Structure 1
Amino acid sequence: MTVFDVIEGHSPIILGQPHGGTYVPDDLLARMNDVGNVLEDTDWHITKLYDGLLDGTTVVKSNIHRYVIDCNRDPAGVSLYPGQNTTTLCPTTSFDGVNIWLDGQAPSEDEILERRALYHVPYHKALEEQISRVKAKHGYAILYDCHSIRSNIPFLFEGELPIFSIGTNLGATCDARIEAIVKKVCFSDDAKASGFDAVLNGRFKGGWTTRHYGQPDQGVHAIQMELAQRAYMLEQAPWSYLPDVANKVRQPLSQILNQINDLARSDALQPDA
């Protein structure tokens, strides 16, 4: 099993997918308890959901499950949401706050460093290489970080999560016109008619990936989309992909990517534009 997969495209848009992987090395799987072995907190089917929405997108996806290491966490282990419940670089609990390791089997500090070198560093090296390649080709790069999560997780947030949670770290990680495109589609009457709701910079303001790479003044724009999983799949085992349901949310996602691509093709995002 490779740490990550890369599909190189010709568009200025890169799809980051850090949490869709389900691979756990056998020795680690044997150390997980029944809660951990279920791998519930996966961004299930995220690659399939975005497949074919825009021709020519580059995709960088991790194949390693987030319980091994979370590729969307600060490698130094610093929390992005101080004072709020969250999971760590090498998680010890599920999103429900329940231990995922057998007694005495949680990763040590040395093991965390080892996992970081084996999995976190290679994924981000691949992402950095693609950002550099795309920026060299177009003069800028747009990282669209793809995420999904269960709609209801009391340990992490109150109530039911909106279908679309848009994160730009309060507008700091991308050009305002990119944020405006995503907001317009997600808050549109068409989206509301489909039963979709949305929030901008709510509980999820953009993870470490978005905040780390999003440097608009340097020609790199980043935005995170956290989707509530009820929009495209069963939210409990067996976590089946539901094509008829998913096709409805694929429409606004396609609009978002194509409109951002159109903006980029107009050269409006060139640093000297």
Structure 2
Amino acid sequence: MSNYTLHRGTAPLLISLPHDGSAIPEAIAERMLPTARRSVDTDWHVGRLYEPLATALGASVLKPVASRYVVDLNRPADGQALYPGRRETGLVSTIGFHGESLYRDGDEPTAAEIQRRVNEFWRPYHDALSQELERLRAEHGRVVLWEGHSIRSRVPMLFDGQLPDFNLGTADGASCGAALQEQLQALLQGQSRYSFVVNGRFKGGYITRHYGRPDRGVHAVQLELAQLNYMDEDSFAYDEAKASVLQASIEQLLRLCVA
């Protein structure tokens, strides 16, 4: 079975959902603490949010099967920090978003195991991502890579207070053209339902920063959503009523990208 799924669309838009997966192989799970086996830091239900929109727009969708606890696809393969000087989870993290240990004492992954996970899970996803971006860019002359993420609205280890509802990241403007960022920001400013910030705590992870090359026709944008807007953050239950309202706002942003 493949470690990812890719739906190839026809529009110049690729939606990447690198933290949508929640599966943990048994050989890894048996060394983890019981709470970690639930993969609680998953970007819950982002596939359910985005896939109907992708179908309507003709976008491609790439998502993994495995949990970010197996390997974080949005980190560089060499394990370098995304936000130097801040406490954060890593490529193959041993802590969760609240600073809690994921593994039993003495069962943390070795350097050799980390490399195996990179080879088995990280590289195939990035190979698929690169190839699909190139296919769409070659066909259309330009392509937008949309990084779909979500997170609990309050994670004290990562940020103070409550996160804005929409957190748009473009690596401080380096990963996409200025016109696209301005249009997305203007759309968010024109609505009053959701709070937002651009290039705040989440400026875009490795995928946004690495693949965004506006000078070559590849524009990358990350959207980190506060999960309370479409689900119950304690039970992880999907809230259909909230989600349908949120999807309407996301669809407007995606339509800008396609246009």
TM-score, normalization: structure 1? 0.92
Residue in 2 that maps onto 1:259:
256
- The counterpart of 1:119, out of the listed 118, 121, 124, is 121
Structure 2 CA distance, aligned partners of 1:98 and 1:35?
10
Residue in 2 that maps onto 1:96:
98
Q: Is the 8 A contact 2:73 2:122 kept in 1?
A: yes
Find the residue that maps to 1:260 and give its secondary structure. Answer: helix
Structure 2 CA distance, aligned partners of 1:147 and 1:181?
20
Residue in 2 that maps onto 1:248:
245
Residue in 2 that maps onto 1:4:
4
Find the residue that maps to 2:222 and give its secondary structure. Answer: strand
Residue in 1 that maps onto 2:204:
206
After TM superposition, give the deviation of residue 187 of structure 1 in Å.
2.2
Residue in 1 that maps onto 2:86:
84
Residue in 2 that maps onto 1:235:
233
Find the residue that maps to 1:258 and give its secondary structure. Answer: helix
* Identical positions, percent: 39
Q: Is the 8 A contact 1:185 1:256 kept in 2?
A: yes
After TM superposition, give the deviation of residue 38 of structure 1 in Å.
2.0
After TM superposition, give the deviation of residue 172 of structure 1 in Å.
0.4
Q: Does 1:44 align with 2:44?
A: yes
Residue in 2 that maps onto 1:17:
17
Matched length: 257
One-letter amino acid of the counterpart of residue 16, structure 1? S
Q: Does 1:223 align with 2:227?
A: no
After TM superposition, give the deviation of residue 51 of structure 1 in Å.
2.0
* Alignment RMSD: 0.9
Which contiguous aligned blocks of 4+ residues in structure 1 show a shift greater than 6 angstroms? none
Q: Is the 8 A contact 2:71 2:93 kept in 1?
A: yes
Residue in 1 that maps onto 2:163:
161
> Tell me, which stretches of 5 or more residues in structure 2 are unaligned?
none
Q: Is the 8 A contact 2:144 2:258 kept in 1?
A: no
> Tell me, which stretches of 5 or more residues in structure 1 are unaligned?
263-273
Q: Is the 8 A contact 1:135 1:220 kept in 2?
A: yes
After TM superposition, give the deviation of residue 17 of structure 1 in Å.
0.5
